[in-house]
Structure formats: structure tokens, C-alpha cells
A and B are shown apart, each in its own frame.
Chain A
Amino acid sequence: QKEVEQNSGPLSVPEGAIASLNCTYSDRGSQSFFWYRQYSGKSPELIMFIYSNGDKEDGRFTAQLNKASQYVSLLIRDSQPSDSATYLCAVNSLSSGSARQLTFGSGTQLTVLP
């Protein structure tokens, strides 16, 4: 059973601070990793993906991947109230044959306080 674990939160940070969201996964064969943002009542929207160990930056967002530790994180710099949402970590790994499946964590609820 492939598992993706996230702290459910809620995580509260003041406006302008750095929010750090963490995710661990159980399948060492996992090859690609995704962060989605989901506002209440809405569908998930992609923030970024990462495949290689290290950091990947996109604007205020930085994804960090450490395959040896089976750990992926998302940093949000200069957090804004509009960043308040649930953040879903998703891990893509080979399921059977050539088919791949995304396994989602349960999400971390982030609140940015004005």
C-alpha cells in the first residue's frame, strides 16, 4: 500500500512569513512529485512539480525533494492571506505494468493571518 503522509494542520502563519509544508511517502520507486492547492469547495490546482533531488523555485514557491529520506516539502515565501487553502501533496509511482498512479496525501490546511 503506497502511502503519502501530510500533517493535517491547521497551520497558521502571519502575513509575510514563510509557510513550510511537509510530505513523506512510502514508495521508494516514486518518481515524480506534485503540489496542488485546493480552496474550499473548489478543485485542486497545480502549483508545481519536482522530479530531481534538490530545490525547485517558482516565484514565491520552492519545492524541495530528498529521495533518500522520502521527503518532499513546499515553502511559501512572503505568505499572503490569499494563500490560505489546503495544500495537497501527490506522488506518482509505477503501479503495474506501465501504468502510473497519483497517490494523494490528505492535505495540510494553511491559514495566513493578516
Chain B
Amino acid sequence: DGGITQSPKYLFRKEGQNVTLSCEQNLNHDAMYWYRQDPGQGLRLIYYSQIVNDFQKGDIAEGYSVSREKKESFPLTVTSAQKNPTAFYLCASSASNSGGSRDTQYFGPGTRLTVL
């Protein structure tokens, strides 16, 4: 089965703790993205990566970090500097990020993070 997997489905974080959310895709997509969704709101872009070993900040990157060491994997770390991390985190991927139908983004099932 081709698709995007995220783990864990639910995650609980204590104050001052860093946590890492996993995102893996076997679609052979070049571009990957991390979004955050708060209740009743749309998705906001945290980070994106167009190619291995390269990534750019999105609109709300503060308090988050990412890596892209492999094409298939794009983990997101929520650091203790992120003051309000409770949210639904969504990973997405697209074949490319250069225009046309290949820009279509497909989403993983999401990780719901709660700060205790």
C-alpha cells in the first residue's frame, strides 16, 4: 500500500519536554510538509522540504525543528520553546513543489499532541 504514515496517533507531553513526531511516505514524493491545525481553524504551515537535506520555515516555525535525511522521512520535533503546542499535527507530501498537478498534497492520518 502506498501512503503516508504518522506516529504516534496520540502524544502527551509534559512541560519542558521535547517530543518528536514521525512522518514516513512510500509514494516516492520529493516534497514533504508539516502543518498544525487548531480547533475550528485551517491548517498552518510549520516547515516544508522540497528535497533531501533541505528544508524551509513556514509561517509558524518558532519552537519547532525538522530534518530530512531520507526522502521517505520528515520528522518534526516540538521543542520546549513552543509555548502552546497542543494541536493536531498533519504531515503531507507531494510529488513536487514546482507547479502543476504534481503539487497536489496528500495527508497522513495526523498526530494529536496534548500538553499535560
Contacts and interface: CB of A to CB of B under 8 A. Distances in A.
A92 interface: yes
B104 A8 contact: no
B42 A4 contact: yes
B99 interface: yes
A31 interface: yes
For chain B, the bracket of interface size reads 20 to 34
Nearest to A36: B107
B41 A99 contact: no
Interface string B89-105: 01000000111110111
Given A31-B99, A106-B40, A42 B109 contact: yes
Interface of B: 33, 35, 40-45, 48, 50, 56, 58, 90, 97-101, 103-110
26 contacts: A4-B42, A8-B40, A32-B99, A32-B100, A32-B103, A34-B104, A36-B107, A42-B110, A43-B107, A44-B43, A45-B107, A46-B104, A49-B104, A51-B100, A88-B42, A90-B105, A92-B103, A98-B98, A100-B98, A100-B99, A102-B33, A102-B105, A104-B42, A104-B43, A105-B42, A107-B41
